Every structure is written in structure tokens, then in C-alpha cells.
A and B are shown apart, each in its own frame.
Chain A
Amino acid sequence: MTKPNERKLTIARAMAEAVAQEMRVDPSVFVMGEDIGTLGGVYGNTRGLLDEFGSERIRDTPISETAFIGAAVGAAQDGMRPVVELMFVDFFGVCFDAIYNLMAKNIYFSGGNLKVPMVLMTSTGGGYSDGGQHSQCVYGTFAHLPGMKVVAPSNAYDAKGLMTAAMRDDSPVVYMYHKGLQGMGWLGTEAGATVHVPEESYTVEIGKARVARAGKDVTIVSLGMGVHHALRAADKLEAQGVSAEVVDLVSLVPLDRDTIRASVARTGRLIVVDEDYMSYGVSGEIIASVTEHDISVLKAAPRRVAFPDVPIPFARVMEQYCLPDADKIVAAWAGMQAA
């Protein structure tokens, strides 16, 4: 139900609004990337910006990620605040040196004397049979390597506030949005991501998790699309008389371990949901954050629902078999009870 004064925006529109509002007040903000001009971005998050700001500040680039992400680092160190887009996160392979050896390390190498105020936004996620080079999340890869903040909104309110916070941050921020949450109909979008977004500019704190739903029997920790699976699973569990708490990480770096620990301390049980590959990733980090802190809070071994360690298959039946969903979370709960 839409309440009076409610303004529901998609994540794509919320991102574009944040960028536009910041560009109006800060001439050092500019955007570059492939197809972000006339097309408004493949995922719609720069729509309308070219008309308002022109092609100097909304700059289509050649297919040259190493060059333009490296250039963003240079511009950021020189007083600009670039927002650059890597169209699909899967393409990071062609430009990762600029990202993790340059963008992520120059503040450190300068002993904190340099600022690198840039945002690297990039799309993540699958579920629509786009194959193994266009469907990955690789959240863990980015979060693993030090020097870049990493955020991943699950709804439009957070998307706008995080984008504004990211543009104002003096450190590089990797902004990972999920294709299935963007509000682009052709991607079969998740309705729960389109929420009320205030008109005025505001920030959402980077490094702060959010309890998306309170509960007392089990904590389900997730991010991005996984939050929506978790919320659906919580509904299903409620029908079985189980009260599930859902924690939306919002940020991966810095990671709000306190909120996770406090929640698990209340519920005693932990399920982590991640669309990224299972091993060496976010799910392991969350579980370690709890167990290394105080293993006694756990009444059962933690469980994870994550993408198995295989490349993402094209065929729908195979991809769906691998992807997390609400039923797999409910099954994880059942497995926990049986153990």
C-alpha cells in the first residue's frame, strides 16, 4: 500500500537521483563508463544525467576499463570525485590491477597523505541465464582485498543514501548493485527493492548493517538479493512457528560485526545466504566473525546457503539449482534442527 507522501523509486532511479543531487552541489563529481550517456547505463543508473549535465561530466568511454578506472584514480587524487562504472563486475579481470593495486592502495602508499575519493559502481548477480561471464557476484573477492570500501544495497532507500555517502567519502568505494534489484522490468525485478525514497539528499552510513526483520530463533545474514530471499524464508518459517531475524549487511567493508554478533547472541543460530561462490567468501567471514568472538552463543552449527563452487551455468534448470532461494534457506533451518 502506498502511503501519502510516499515516493517509491527503483534502485536505478535512486542511484541516478543521488548522483544528480551531488553533481548539482559539487562540481568535482563526474561520471564515466561505457554506455552511461545516451543509453543512461545498461542498468539505468545514469538515466537522465546526460541531459542535465552534458557529455563533459557524463562521459561515455571506449571499452578501455584499465585506462578509465586508472584515470579515475588519477583524477580523484587530483581533486575530482569521479564515479566510474564497470558494466558487469565479471569484467574486473581486464582492469583489476587499476582497482586493487592502485585505487585501493594509493592512500596507504602515501601514508594517508593522498585521498582517493572515487566510486566504482558495478552490477552483480545472475538468475536470468546470462552465462558464466555475466552473472557473478564476486563480493568476496573485492571485500578480501584491503583498501576499498564495499557496499551492496538491497533496496532503493539504502541505494540512494549509500551512493551519496560513497561520493562524499575520501576513500574509494566499490558500489555493487544487483541486476535483479535495479527495477529494470526486463530483468524480472524484485519488487521488494522498490521502496520509499525521500526527495532530499541524505546518507546511509557505510559500515553499518541493518536488522531488516526482527526475530528470536535464528539469524539469517545476507546482502543484496539474498536479503529478499531471506525475508521470504522468514515468512515461510513464521508459518512453521519459527521466528527468524534477518540482517542486511549493507556494507561488506567495513563489516559491521557487532550487529551480526548481537543478533546471533539473541537467536543462538546462524544461516548465511550469499549469491557469491561458497568457499573463501562472505559466508565464511560472517561465520568466523561469530565463532572466533564467542562460540558459546551458538546452539547449533551455522549453515550457509551460497552458490556452489562452479562457474555459473547458462541453462535455467542448472542455474536455478545453484542459486540461493527461500526454500533452500528453509531447508537449511530444517537441517539445523535435524543435526
Chain B
Amino acid sequence: MYRNMVLSRRFEERIAKIYFEGKTPVFNMANGPIPGEMHLSDGQEPVAVGVCAHLTPEDIVTATHRPHHQAIAKGVDLDRMAAEIFGKATGLSGGRGGHMHIFDPEVNFACSGIIAQGMGPAVGAALSRKMQGKPGVAVAFVGEGAVNQGGWHEAMNLAAVWKLPFVCVIEDNGWGISVAKQTASAVASNADRAAAYGIPGKRVEGNDPYAIHEVAGEAIARARAGDGPTLIEVETYRLAGHFMGDAEGYRPKGEKEALFEKDPIPRMRARLIADGIASAAELDDIEAAAAARVETAITFARDSADPAPEDALTAVFA
């Protein structure tokens, strides 16, 4: 789990830096080697690793517009994901999809840019596995903002009434762009909404990978056993803005600083050492290996060729 958390963080740090190449001094989203919107997940790594630690490549994950940490935890090909984010021919879709549309069928990973959109496909994949008698669970990651979307409720109900091997994991980072959770929903814990579907709901506080790992383990075991879906809401933190370039004027003063003090990566590192699970030197090695892995991916992406412009017209139909 620590390895993937660090890998995700290093990856996004590099992406963030490169993102601003060509976009300074005047920020223009269209410029630079990585154009378009960029949603980073710094701080939210515990959710992804805590859940995905229980999954194999056969299991299905649908993620959101903020997909990198989940993709990495699910084992998406890092080189080809980096190339996709750079819009290169070697990218997972040859540059057609981009950062919000990362598809890696090898490990059953998909994501999309419209809120709560991953719910239906994850429920459908769970249905398919059940109908085919094939093993595997489907996990849909969504933000806490997505839970107010109509499609979310419809999909939860289907999963529950059909008792599908499905888990919905809500990443509650407190914000839907500039709208605070409490102004968008009258319930404090979205896990309570599970009652509306007659399924278990659990909330995990503290952005703690161990606690997430435990709760997710129970839910996924339940799904694998054929006992139906579970709803999990995890408290997490978005350390960055909603997207790169977000001035974050909506955040109360001091919120960010307080969050950085709770950065889950140094916290987990300290705990691993305190519990005697790993030495500082071993963790340094993990960190160095992660940094090197990220460099390889970035180099692969940078060195890859642009797609041919007219390739835009291909791959519309199967």
C-alpha cells in the first residue's frame, strides 16, 4: 500500500510540474506538453490503495475525473497512462481519451469525466459476472458530490435489488469544486444512505489506509461471497485545488495548512517504522524506486511520438 501511495504521489508531483511548462507566466490551459484540465488526487491515495489492495486484475474498477491514484493502485500500465496524459500515440487510447478517459482493459479499469457516470458500468459489470457465473467484484469510486446525482441512486438500487458483487466507495474530500459537502447534502454521512437500499453502509474517518483496508476487505469479501453490495464512505482530503489553476478562494483560511499536517504519506511512513514493519532505509528504497519508476514513465511519454492528426477519425466504431 505504501509503495502505491508513494508512486501515485511522485507521479502527480511530476505531472503537476510538467503541466505548468509552457503555461507560465500567463496561465493558458491549452498550452504546454499536457494541455486540458488536470485533476490531481494528492492526499486521497489512502482510499485507492486501501480498496485496491483487495482486488486482482480480473476485478473491475470505474473511477472518476480524478483517476490517477486509483489507476495506479489498480495496476494500470504507468507508461501508457503517462503517454495518454501527454496525448501521445503510445497512450492507452492513442491520445484520444486523455486524463479523464483512462481505459486499461488489461486490468479492467475505466474512468470518465461526468459525475457519477461510472456507477452504471460498474453495476453492469457486476451483473455480467453474476450472469456468467464468473468471479470478480466491481468497485465504483465516486466523490461525495456525486452522491447527489440521480444516476447514482438508480445504480445503487439496481445493485442492491439484484444483490450484485458491487462496492461503491465514496471519496469524501469535503468539496465538490467550490461547493462544500454540508451545503450540498443534509446528511453528514453518505454511508447512512445505504439504509435506503437495504445494504450495509460504513463510514471510515481519518484518511487512514489501514482502516480503509479493513472495511474494504469486509465489503469485498461480502461481494465475493454473493451477499450483495456495500456502500463505503471514506473521509479523505484533497490537498490540491479542484483542478490545476484553481485559486481555491472558497476554502476557509487555514484549512489547507491543517490538511498538509495530516498528509497521509508521512503519517504512514512514521507508522510503518514505529510498528517495526519497515526500516527508514527500506522505505527510502521504496521511495527511490517509485521516483525512478515515475521517471521512466515520464521519459517514455515525452519521447513518444504525437499521434497522426488524421488518426482522430479512426476507432469510432469497433
Contacts and interface: CB of A to CB of B under 8 A. Distances in A.
A39 to B, nearest CB: 4
Interface string A85-104: 00000110110000000000
Interface string B292-316: 0000000000000011111111001
A46 to B, nearest CB: 12
Contact of A314 (B31, B95, B146, B176): B95
B128 interface: no
B114 A93 contact: yes
A314 B97 contact: yes
B151 A315 contact: no
A66 B185 CA distance: 16
Interface stretch (B48-56, B98-106, B212-220, B230-238): B98-106
A313 B99 CA distance: 12
A315 B88 contact: yes
Contacts, number: 154
A60 B101 contact: no
Contact of A322 (B115, B307, B312): B312
B107 to A, nearest CB: 21
A66 B97 contact: no
B249 interface: yes
A133 B100 contact: yes
Interface residues of A, number: 44
A332 B95 CA distance: 28
Contacts of A91: 114-115
Contacts of B95: 313-315, 318
B30 interface: yes
Contacts of B88: 315
B66 to A, nearest CB: 14
Given A37-B178, A60-B183, A311-B316, A134 B96 contact: no
B97 A63 contact: no
Given A39-B177, A313-B96, A318-B309, A129 B36 contact: yes
B151 A62 contact: no
A35 B177 CA distance: 7
A316 B29 contact: no
A60 B37 contact: no
Contacts of B101: 131-133, 314
Interface in B111-155: 112-116, 145-146, 148-151
Interface string B240-251: 000001000110
B29 A315 contact: no
Interface stretch (A181-189, A202-210, A224-232, A283-291): A181-189
A93 B114 CA distance: 9
B235 to A, nearest CB: 19
Classify the interface of chain B: helix, strand, loop or mixed.
loop
A42 interface: yes
Q: Which of B98, B151, B249, B307 has the most CB of A within 10 A?
A: B98
B229 interface: no
A300 to B, nearest CB: 26
A321 B309 CA distance: 6
Contacts of B250: 38-39
A276 to B, nearest CB: 16
B307 A315 contact: yes
Given A129-B35, A315-B307, A318-B96, A186 B313 contact: no
A295 B149 CA distance: 49
B147 to A, nearest CB: 9
Given A132-B101, A318-B311, A34 B179 contact: yes
A138 B203 CA distance: 40
B307 A318 contact: yes
B96 A315 contact: yes
Contacts of B99: 131, 314
B313 A308 contact: yes
A57 to B, nearest CB: 15
A187 B114 contact: no
B27 interface: yes
A62 B113 contact: no
Contact of A188 (B29, B146, B308): B29
B87 A133 contact: no
A188 B150 contact: no
B277 to A, nearest CB: 40
Interface string B15-41: 000000000001111110001110000
Contact of B29 (A35, A67, A186, A322): A186
A35 B311 CA distance: 36
A271 to B, nearest CB: 21
Contacts of B112: 133
Q: Which of A35, A128, A131, A310 has the most CB of B within 10 A?
A: A131
A66 B115 CA distance: 13
A174 to B, nearest CB: 19
Contact of B98 (A129, A188, A322): A129
B184 interface: yes
Interface in A149-187: 185-187
A132 B95 CA distance: 11
A245 interface: no
Contacts of B113: 90, 131, 133-134
A63 B149 contact: yes
Nearest to A127: B30
A317 interface: yes
Given A39-B250, A320-B309, A322-B312, 6 more contacts: A63-B145, A91-B115, A131-B98, A186-B29, A188-B29, A318-B311
User: Which 8 pairs show the lowest CB-CB distances between chains A and B?
Assistant: A314-B98, A315-B95, A315-B87, A321-B309, A129-B35, A129-B36, A318-B312, A128-B30
17 contacts: A34-B176, A38-B178, A60-B178, A62-B176, A63-B149, A91-B114, A94-B151, A129-B35, A131-B97, A133-B101, A186-B27, A311-B316, A314-B84, A314-B87, A314-B99, A315-B87, A315-B88
Interface of B: 26-31, 35-37, 84, 87-88, 91, 93-101, 112-116, 145-146, 148-151, 176-179, 183-185, 245, 249-250, 306-313, 316
